[in-house]
Amino acid sequence: MDGLDDIVEEFLVESHENLDQLDTDLVALEQEPNSRERLSSIFRTIHTIKGTSGFLAFNRLEEVTHVGENMLSRLRDGELALTPTRTSVLLQMVDTVRSLLTSIESTGGEGTVDVSAVVAAITGAMEDGAAAEAPAAEPAAKPAATRVRKTAAKSTAAKAPAAKAAPARKAAPAKKAAPARAAATKAPAAAPIADVEDVAPEVPVTGSPLAPAVETPLPEATVPQPRPAADDEEHPQQEARRGVADSTIRVDVDLLDELMLLVGELVLTRNQIVQYVGRTNDTDLLRASQRLNLIASELQEGVMKTRMQPIDHIWSKLPRVVRDLGLQLKKTIRLEMEGRDTELDKTLLEAVKDPLTHLVRNSVDHGIEASDVRKAKGKPAEGVLTLRARHESGQVVVEVADDGAGIDSAKIGAKAVERGLISADALNRMGPQDLLQLIFLPGFSTAAAVTNVSGRGVGMDVVKTNIESIGGTIEVESQPGEGTVMRLRIPLTLAIVPALTVECSGDRYAIPQISLQELVALDAEKAATAVEEVGGAPVYRLRGELLPLVRLTDVLDLPSDRHDGHLVIAVLRSEGRRFGLVVDRVLNTEEIVVKALGGQLKSIGLYSGATVLGDGAIALILDVQALSRRALRTETTERQESREAAAAALASSDRDRQRMLLAAIGGGRRVAIPLDTVTRLEQVRTEAVERVGNREVVQYRGAILPMVRLDRHLGAYGETDREVLEVIVYSDHGRSVAIVVEEILDIVDGETAVRSDIDDMGLLGSAVLGDKVTELLDVRAAILAADPAFYDVPLNALPTTDAVAAPLLEV
Amino acid sequence: MSATADLKAPATGGQLATFWLDGDLYGVEVEHVQEVLRSQKLTRVPLAPTAVAGLINLRGQVVTAIELRERLGRKPRPEGTDAVVIVVRLHGEAVSLLVDSIADVVDVDATDFETPPDTLDGKARELIRGAYKLSGQLLLALDVQKAVSA
């Protein structure tokens, strides 16, 4: 068995089952010869065996199934009618196939099983039918004879069955004769033909003259030949070992799911009992419960194992992927695999297949450099892609590691800002590790060119979503110049997960252990000082790093029942960022069985399910991804709100209070623009910018809007290659201009500003707004830079330019 | 598809499991009803729609409980009175309805059926398929499908 490939073994198991089914099908078919459905099923089975045998280079097997398939396809298409003869040859074929399989199983090869007899018999049965069909009553003698002659003429191999067919027809003793002859190997070539010619006329004239004849060679094909090659030493071994087909059974996955569910229930009941028993002093009961505990655990493990498959099932396709892609990209890549027998749940295996393939393609395409580049960097020309899988604390860790160029986090950040995925400000706050996580943002791609391999900006976010949908996580580590490691953490199984139970406002909630990093408990004294606020958001300094805190009570909109000032923080990680979930109490870690929630509750999007705890109470399972997204979203909604507020302020155009719009223009400079000169805030895509003469314009609401880029106008160093431009639209007397800034920051009250008359071209001065020195924009000059004719008409009508500048000076 | 057919069936007669809710008699098709339970411990679900009273542990299964009073726009059940839980099974999923008390299974006749009276207010109107004129009592046929899609 050791010599047998997994694929061959699988093929054998499958084929043996198929053959048993075939036997039944064929016999049943005789009862209802017109069942197209049954014929199709038989055809498919034979076709499958043929296809696989061709693929595995079992030529004789292929040959015999090929003719069988031919016949079946004609039967199926109605070209041939099913006669007992044909059924017999088909059964004969099944037997031959079986003996071939036995030989393959025992020796790894087809051995000396002879298929020519069966092939000829089938071919014969096909042609015979064609001739005999029309004149049903006509004596079969002639057709039979011609058939035999024809076959004989075709190949010498075909003669064997003919020879056997002849004596067989005579009577019962022929049965003995057949094997005897077979043992004596092939019959002499020419003689049997004469035999047949002589005998043929004796055949009774029926619709199926050859039925008994063909049936007899059947044992001959199976019995003597299976393993002549197998020497005596091997025989006892084979007896002792169960056949491949006998040692496994196929089970419906649904049945396993059902079992898994029941075991889940058992585990819950076990938890319940163990909990109750813990409160009593009954030693017998205690012992029984311990035994129950043990058995339930083992049963759970056992049932889980039935669904486990080695990761090699999905890895086995990757060498080909890497090879083809390597060739295409002209890279030399060696694929190494570690831990290919690591097992995980079948459904999970299916779920990680595509993401894993994507990661591998990505590594080959972007990660590993071309050979000459590698040599230039002093690396070996051959790139190494390593797949690693291992079990680690109840999870399966799968890594895709390459020794390629690595990911330049600075580049990633710049790209993300350019794509408008994050703000430049947010970028400055991010560490290198956070920056790497940006590759998982939707619409992100760093590929310089879109190839047919990757670079369309879809992919990593999809990979992430897929992994997270099965409760897994993905992280990326990269050293520029040294390589990248993509690490997937996948739960062993979906149905039963280890979880932390916490209490919040009197209710219990479960948090999947996979997202939990650590627990922090602070007493009242410490909590009072350790939790600080950044812009109204609470943070905790966890070993020097700021950990944003999310109060579960706030998220759930419940009052906390913890009034002693103690603080319990569950440090969770999701989507590559950490946050602290403040709960009332931490209760326990236990294994929970995930139950789906009803449709009415799915839309809340905060719970990934519910579970029944040991005492029968229900706990909702928190969806950590959703929690973190919610926490993140508040950040963006705040931004949104400030923008809406700006718009609202514009609408009211309250001239009494001088309000300023703060905008960054690049190079760390900030300018203040009087809010009442602003009509709208817009975003314009760079590609929408057109040129008229040496001016930039953009089409806006059916008009041509002249643009001025404040960074150029004021001589700041702004980023030039942004995709989305932040634009402030200023309108007056039916004319509008667009003022391009880098980022809209805030709206402040002008009263608080401290003015200074340090100014420059295009500025009216500077002031301290929001603790920072801010330049006051000379709006008129800026507008004139965009549209020199802007004030032409109003200049005559309006008193002075002070109409615009005045409010600023009153500050 | 078949569920829709099932729901229409009682209009031509059939059996309704009936229950009381705020003084009115309602009925649901008997084939949807899985079981009826005395008051159960409810686990609340923060942020859930108001009609969701909570979750019930039904022999290890987690089942959503819909407060039918809320769903029909009636006033809350008086303090101190326990709800009765009717577990219905729709598309293989169990959902439970909280009602005041359970009544008989009634054979209804299509000839007694009438579409909802015009006086029925908006919220309830969507959920009531119509009324059967029983002797001395109106039986309101609940559209259980709509009632549970809180």
> Burial, A2: exposed, middle or buried (Cβ in 10 Å; 0-12, 13-18, 19+)?
exposed
**For the domain that residue A24 is a member of, what is the CATH number?**
1.20.120.160
**For the domain that residue A556 is a member of, what is the CATH number?**
2.40.50.180
A292/A399 same-domain check:
no
Mean of the per-residue pLDDT values for chain B? 84
Contacts of A597 in chain B (CB under 8 A): 62, 64
Angstrom distance (rounded) from CA A550 to CA A529? 17
Q: For the segment B104-142, what is each residue's pLDDT rounded down to a tens digit? A: 999 988 888 888 877 777 777 888 888 888 888 889 999
- What is the DSSP annotation of B53-121? EEEEEETTEEEEEEEHHHHTTPPPPPTTPPPEEEEEEETTEEEEEEESEEEEEEEE-GGGEEPPPTTS-
**Residue B45: partners with Cβ closer than 8 Å, 6 or more residues away:** A601, A604, A607, A620, B52, B54, B55
- pTM for the model: 0.47
B43 with A607: Cβ contact below 8 A: no
Structure-token pair, residue A388: 């690693």
Structure-token pair, residue A316: 């086995």
- Domain-located, residue A131: no
A598/A683 same-domain check:
no
CA distance A604 to chain B (A): 6
- Domain-located, residue A428: yes
B57 with A612: Cβ contact below 8 A: yes
A548/A602 same-domain check:
yes
Domain span at residue A273 reads 252-304
Angstrom distance (rounded) from CA A710 to CA A742? 8
Query: Taking CA atoms, what residue in B is nearest to A268?
Result: B60
B43 with A618: Cβ contact below 8 A: yes
Q: How far is CA A344 from CA A249, A265, A318, A391, A495, in A?
A: 20, 21, 18, 9, 13
Angstrom distance (rounded) from CA A286 to CA A283? 5
The backbone torsions φ and ψ at residue A386, rounded to the nearest 5 degrees and listed phi first, read: -115, 130
A259/A333 same-domain check:
no
CA distance A255 to chain B (A): 17
Q: Which of residues 485-514 of A touch B (CB under 8 A)?
A: 507
Note the pLDDT of residue A575: 63
SS3 assignment, position A643: helix
Q: For the segment A130-148, what is each residue's pLDDT rounded down to a tens digit? A: 444 444 434 444 444 444 4
A600 with B41: Cβ contact below 8 A: no
What DSSP element (H or E) covers B128? strand B128-134
- Domain-located, residue A226: no
CB contact A254 to B (< 8 Å): no
A54/A91 same-domain check:
yes
**Residue A378: partners with Cβ closer than 8 Å, 6 or more residues away:** none
A274/A348 same-domain check:
no
A752/A782 same-domain check:
yes
Nearest to A595 among B43, B49, B62 (CB): B62
Interior CA angle at A147 toward A146 and A152, to 5°?
Answer: 95
Per-residue pLDDT of chain B (150 residues; tens, 9 = 90+): 444 444 444 455 789 999 999 889 999 999 999 999 987 889 999 999 889 999 998 877 889 999 999 998 888 988 888 899 999 998 878 899 999 999 999 998 888 888 887 777 777 788 888 888 888 888 999 998 888 886
Angstrom distance (rounded) from CA A115 to CA A430? 71
Name the nearest CA neighbour of A432 among A451, A452, A412: A412
Show the DSSP H helices in A363-512 as ranges: 371-376, 409-418, 424-428, 432-437, 460-469
- Domain-located, residue A182: no
Structure-token pair, residue B113: 């059926």
Structure-token pair, residue B116: 């909802």
- Domain-located, residue A364: yes
Contacts of A618 in chain B (CB under 8 A): 43, 55-57, 62
Name the nearest CA neighbour of A709 among A745, A676, A684: A684
Report how many Cβ contacts below 8 Å link chain A to chain B: 60
Angstrom distance (rounded) from CA A425 to CA A408? 19
**Residue B51 and residue A601 in contact, taking contact as beta carbons nearer than 8 Å:** no
Nearest to B93 among A598, A617, A620 (CB): A598
Show the DSSP H helices in A546-623 as ranges: 552-556, 599-602
Distance of CA A288 to the CA centre of its chain: 44
pLDDT under 50 in chain A at which residues?
1-3, 129-241, 448-458, 635-641, 643, 651-657, 752-754, 794-811
Q: Which of residues 56-115 of B touch A (CB under 8 A)?
A: 56-57, 60-64, 66, 93, 95
Task: Give the domain-ending residue among A126, A143, A175.
Answer: A126
**For the domain that residue A298 is a member of, what is the CATH number?**
1.10.287
CA distance A384 to chain B (A): 49
- Domain-located, residue A234: no
Angstrom distance (rounded) from CA B127 to CA B140? 10
Q: Which of residues 544-563 of A touch B (CB under 8 A)?
A: 556-558
CB contact A424 to B (< 8 Å): no
Place of tokens 């972007």: A366
CB contact A28 to B (< 8 Å): no
A371/A486 same-domain check:
yes
A412/A509 same-domain check:
no
Name the nearest CA neighbour of A728 among A688, A786, A658: A786
**Residue A463 one-letter amino acid:** V
CA distance A305 to chain B (A): 24
Query: Taking CA atoms, what residue in A is nearest to B59?
Result: A616
- Domain-located, residue A228: no
Query: Taking CA atoms, what residue in B is nearest to A264?
Result: B60
Task: Give the domain-ending residue among A92, A126, A160.
Answer: A126
Structure-token pair, residue A501: 């139970």
Angstrom distance (rounded) from CA A47 to CA A378? 53
CB contact B45 to A (< 8 Å): yes
A266/A385 same-domain check:
no
Q: How far is CA A232 from CA A100, A125, A165, A238, in A?
A: 19, 38, 33, 10
Q: Which domains does chain B have, with CATH numbers?
A: 14-148 (2.40.50.180)
Note the pLDDT of residue B100: 93
- Domain-located, residue A192: no
**Residue A767 and residue A752 in contact, taking contact as beta carbons nearer than 8 Å:** no
CB contact A261 to B (< 8 Å): no
CB contact B44 to A (< 8 Å): yes
Task: Give the domain-ending residue among A64, A92, A126.
Answer: A126
**Residue A367 and residue A325 in contact, taking contact as beta carbons nearer than 8 Å:** no
Query: Taking CA atoms, what residue in B is nearest to A505?
Result: B46
Note the pLDDT of residue B55: 94
Nearest to B44 among A507, A599, A616 (CB): A507
Angstrom distance (rounded) from CA A679 to CA A506? 51
- Count: domains in chain A: 5
Query: Taking CA atoms, what residue in B is nearest to A559?
Result: B46
Contacts of B150 in chain A (CB under 8 A): 600
Place of tokens 């809406």: A644
A578/A530 same-domain check:
yes
A591/A672 same-domain check:
no
